[in-house]
Homo-oligomer: A and B are copies of this chain.
Amino acid sequence: MKFTLYMPTKVFYGKNCVKEQAKEFSAFGNKALIVTGKSSGKKSGALKDVTDILISLSIEYWVFDKVENNPSLETVKKGSIIAKANQVSVIIAIGGGSPIDAAKAIAALSVNNIEPIELLTTSIKIPSLPIIVIPTTAGTGSEVTPYSILTAKQFNTKKNFYSPYSFPTITFLDYKYTCSLPDRVTIDTAFDAFSHLLESYLSNKCTKQSAIYAIEGLKVFANCLLAIDERKFTDNIRDQLLYASYMGGLAITLTGTTIIHAMGYSLTYYKALSHGHANTLFIGEYLRFNNQADKEKIENVLKILKFSAIIDLETYLLKNIGKKPTISQEEINKFATLAMTQGSVKNNPRVIKESDIIKIYQKVLLR
Residues in chain A within 8 A of chain B (CB atoms): 1-15, 17, 208-209, 212-213, 216, 239, 243
Contact = CB atoms under 8 A, between A and B. Distances in A.
Contacts of A14: 1-3
Contact of A13 (B2, B7, B213, B216): B2
A2 B6 CA distance: 22
Contacts of A212: 212-213, 216
Contacts of A2: 13-15, 17
A217 B18 CA distance: 31
A283 B290 CA distance: 46
A259 to B, nearest CB: 27
Contacts of A8: 8
A201 to B, nearest CB: 15
A12 B1 CA distance: 11
B11 A243 contact: no
Contacts of A1: 13-14, 239, 243
A12 B14 CA distance: 30
A4 B15 contact: no
Contacts of A12: 4
A101 to B, nearest CB: 21
A4 B209 CA distance: 19
13 contacts: A1-B13, A1-B243, A3-B11, A4-B11, A4-B12, A5-B10, A5-B11, A5-B13, A6-B9, A6-B10, A13-B209, A212-B212, A212-B213
A118 B2 CA distance: 39
Given A6-B9, A212-B212, 5 more contacts: A3-B13, A4-B10, A4-B13, A7-B7, A208-B243
Nearest to A211: B216
Contacts of A213: 212
Contacts of A7: 7
A218 to B, nearest CB: 13
A52 to B, nearest CB: 21
Contacts of A10: 4-6
Contact of A6 (B6, B11, B243): B11
Nearest to A208: B243
A177 to B, nearest CB: 14
Query: Lowest 6 A-B CB distances belong to which pairs?
Result: A2-B14, A8-B8, A5-B11, A6-B10, A3-B13, A212-B216
A14 to B, nearest CB: 3
A20 to B, nearest CB: 9
Nearest to A11: B5
A216 B239 CA distance: 23
Contacts of A208: 243
Contacts of A3: 11, 13-14
A60 to B, nearest CB: 26
